[in-house]
Chains A and B, each alone.
Chain A
Amino acid sequence: MANTRSVGSVLLGMVVAAGCAATPTPQPQATHAANVVPVASPYPSTYQPKQVPPTLIRGATVLTGTGERLDAADVLIVAGRIKAVGRNLQAPADAQIVDGHDRWVTPGLIDVHSHLGVYPSPQVRGNSDGNEASNPVTANVWAEHSIWPQDPGFTTARIGGITAMQILPGSANLIGGRSVVLKNVPSVTYQGMKFPGAPQGLKMACGENPKRVYGSDKKFPETRMGNVAGYRAQWIEAQEYVRDQDEYQRKIAAGEKDAKPVKRDLRLDTLAAALRGEILVHQHCYRADEMATVIDMSKEFGYHVAAFHHASEAYKIANLLAENHVCAAMWADWWGFKMESYDGIPENIALVDAAPGGCAIVHSDSEEGIQRLNQEAGKAMTAGRRAGLAISPEHAITWLTANPAKALGILDQTGTLEPGKMADVVVWNRDPFSVYALTDLVFIDGVVQYDRAHPAPPVSDFLLGQPAAAGVGP
């Protein structure tokens, strides 16, 4: 769970920080220097889906992610995009046909909260890269620079139907750094997984974790009021940075000769981008009262919180969240692993969802949970129904498809099976909310990235040649 991880990783973070001060090897660069210009969007995505023939999935139960359920329906995928969803679709001549009889089709699942790659398996010190717990504010770090694409957890998540996910820094810090949205495709580099055009996120954290990590060493912050003072001081600096940058741009535009560029600062670059809405703010926050404080703070500084993560008490302020268009990303049933999660209940997701305009998201924060977000949703749906709330499967699927896509700023690209969107599609062997449901096929941009009928050798280099992983049983 999140809490045990952050405790461990804090200690490890210290070791790593101390051990990483090796002298960088000078790189020969003189010959190309003349060609080097700053890149507006550095570390860009290199992901390009393979070109494959069209696919027609025929006669399945389709949950579109838009709240609709179509029985005995077809899904047509052409050139990596959803071409059509409906009955009796015509297959193009070269189409692969998938028999959807007795199968269910959903959009690819999206996890807004994962640490795959930054806290990979095996959880060894050498790969523990999720919390830069050397300062309570590390808006300058980017999670993508920690990702180990060989994490076997990417594969097991893909088998669970995950086609996209947000990889976040940990929650040791008030401001932990930038997150990245990935397509869950095999790649040697994280750039090869980067979701084209997806905005980055900013990870912030409420409550016990920053308090514990720094306060236990008598460092700032050691209280919740310290936490809030810590964020506010940063936003004030960021506002000044934005003002100075805007002023510089104004002067340049006006042709004023004394225009001096603002000295670049990685930390303030990130915070300024969040204030401008170019980076989406995701805040780890359990308690209702703290979420309300953060909403007020977002108004004080003029930014928007995309989602609260974990949000064990979101149900207590379901209307407040909905009115402020803030999503809550939650577990189905975890609670009690620390004081701020003591009031978590299994109806949390259903209650957030029940508020008019509510945006409920099922998230994992776990290399295990990410493999079965569908089951988490099944539990949440069942708990909600027992409380008397009417929740249909076609609605519940939005908790792990359209709603996370919305919180990540990629709903125009994926998250539903609407024509024109990326063909991120899962074919299940049965009702996906059952514990017995397995994915038969996982498409990402129309390409089959998992096929249960044709198991592939391990995707992760780590598992190659490991005798124990050979999987040969009695």
Chain B
Amino acid sequence: MKRVLACLLALGVIGSAGADTVLIRNATVHTMTAAGTIEGDILISDGRVAAIGRGLQAPAEAQVIDAGGLPVTPGLFGGLTHLGLEEIGLEPSVDDYALKLGAMRPEFDVALAFDPASVAIAVSRGGGITFAVLSPSTEEGGGGQQSGTIIAGQGSVVGLNGEPTTYSRALFLDFGGDTSSLAGGSRAAQFMLLQQAFTEVRSPKLLLPDDQRLLTPAGRQVLKDFIGGAGVFVFNVDRASDILQVLAFAQREKLRIVISGGAEAWRVSSQLAAAKVPVIINALEDLPGSFDAVGATLENAARLHRAGVRVAFTLDEPQPHNIRKLRQTAGVAVANGLPWEAGLAALTRVPAEIFGVADRFGTIERGRLADLVLWSGDPLDVTSLPDRVFIGGKLQSDRSRQTELRDRYLERVRNGTAR
């Protein structure tokens, strides 16, 4: 704590946190735009990036931070996650990410359950994450509950500034062997059921009697909106042959889709590239965790990138607590052949583009809201940490429940009284 205070004092930040005008000098600015990487300064004013360049003049009221050549990146992406939807795992009273009604309900929208006060948000922000995609999950039933279905529901992009605002929408579907039990025991039935749902939307005259329909009127409306472009369809699927079936379905129905999971995506990278379908992968997946992932390899990201497929990253599980680990997975992908810039893009610009929020997140650009992170070193390395996190131009507090716990017990360990 004392060390942190000293640093803040030295940098003249204390007493002016949240000041409107900040000049970060001598930074290596990874803009993630066509402007590339700029050795220079960033001026933040009124919450926005006012200027990027060399030798910028500090306005009289500006706080000045000398970055000493260290990297500045856009705020990072936290992946597809239960952030604010799962305060603690295995505790149903604070787990709101899965619908288990036994019925297909695309109208289920987890944004309504989002808690911007979840302690995981400050923890993740301290790890340099400024935006994430709230993502519902499918689960099997048990304990008297029904199961979910292959349509998990809707999610949204959220910022990590503690506000409840959500941006854009996405519809999440779970396909493949892991969830064949949610479709009568066969992955073939996943396509059959989805086709039936689409038919209910596209051909209302062919609607079956009420008790044989898959969707409610509200569900039909939501699915119709998404078919009409209201948001992206996120298909969670790993096996190469399943990915090809999903691509064929999407082409037939003219859908905008993204593949998540994608353990074997590299095997069908040319088809993905041709269809311009991006993939959100767990870059650490290199074991055949299931028969759907026999082709898993640490080179998945590198091979997809080489084939021209846009790649973003997410963790293996949507559990929200440790999403700060995502940049480590990017580093591992880089160690296994992915160009460094593509690794950073997979944590910034690419996911923002995939979810239609590239005008708000993922780049550092003049005129845009200033979500950026000043790092102690290479942002993809495990030996670096964020030194400063700005969201909407405001310096974020580096405090979280974890720093409170740390400081309480650090003192006791130093005194020899931790017992």
Interfacial residues, chain A to chain B (CB-CB below 8 A): 1, 3-4, 7, 121-124, 152-153, 156, 208, 212, 216, 292, 315-320, 323, 333-339, 342-343, 345-347, 351, 354-356, 367-368, 371-372, 375, 378-379, 381-383, 386-388, 433-438, 462-463, 466, 468-471, 473-474
The reply on B402 being an interface residue by CB < 8 A is yes
Within 8 A of A (CB), among B73-103: 87-91
Closest to A332 in B: B382
Closest to A151 in B: B287
Closest to B417 in A: A319
Interface of B is mostly: loop
Known contacts A123-B290, A156-B287: does B331 contact A382 (CB below 8 Å)? Answer: no
Closest to A155 in B: B287
B288 to chain A: which residues have CB within 8 Å? 121-122, 152, 462-463, 466, 469
The reply on B306 being an interface residue by CB < 8 A is yes
A378 to chain B: which residues have CB within 8 Å? 381-383
Q: How far is the CB of A242 from chain B (nearest CB, A)?
A: 31
Q: How far is the CA of A272 from the CA of B288 in the complex (A)?
A: 39
Q: How far is the CA of A345 from the CA of B289 in the complex (A)?
A: 28
Q: How far is the CA of A372 from the CA of B383 in the complex (A)?
A: 14
With A355-B418, A435-B334, A473-B299 known, 13 other A-B pairs at CB within 8 A are: A123-B289, A333-B322, A336-B88, A336-B120, A337-B319, A342-B88, A351-B413, A381-B383, A382-B385, A435-B335, A466-B295, A471-B297, A474-B270
- A316, B91: Cβ atoms closer than 8 Å: no
Most chain B CB neighbours (cut-off 10 Å) among A316, A438, A473? A473
- B382, A319: Cβ atoms closer than 8 Å: no
Closest to A438 in B: B335
- A3, B413: Cβ atoms closer than 8 Å: no
- A338, B416: Cβ atoms closer than 8 Å: no
Pick from A292, A323, A375, A381: contact of B328, CB under 8 Å: A375
- A334, B321: Cβ atoms closer than 8 Å: yes
Interfacial residues, chain B to chain A (CB-CB below 8 A): 2-3, 87-91, 120, 143, 240, 264, 266-267, 269-270, 284-291, 293-295, 297, 299, 303, 306-307, 316-317, 319-322, 324-325, 328, 331-332, 334-335, 380-385, 402, 405-406, 409-410, 412-414, 416-419
Q: How far is the CA of A410 from the CA of B325 in the complex (A)?
A: 32
A334 to chain B: which residues have CB within 8 Å? 321-322
Question: What are the 7 closest A-B residue pairs judged by CB atoms, nearest first?
Answer: A435-B331, A336-B321, A468-B295, A320-B419, A473-B303, A337-B89, A378-B382
Closest to B340 in A: A436
B90 to chain A: which residues have CB within 8 Å? 3, 7, 208, 212, 337-339
A436 to chain B: which residues have CB within 8 Å? 331, 334-335, 381
- B413, A435: Cβ atoms closer than 8 Å: no
Most chain A CB neighbours (cut-off 10 Å) among B120, B269, B320, B402? B402
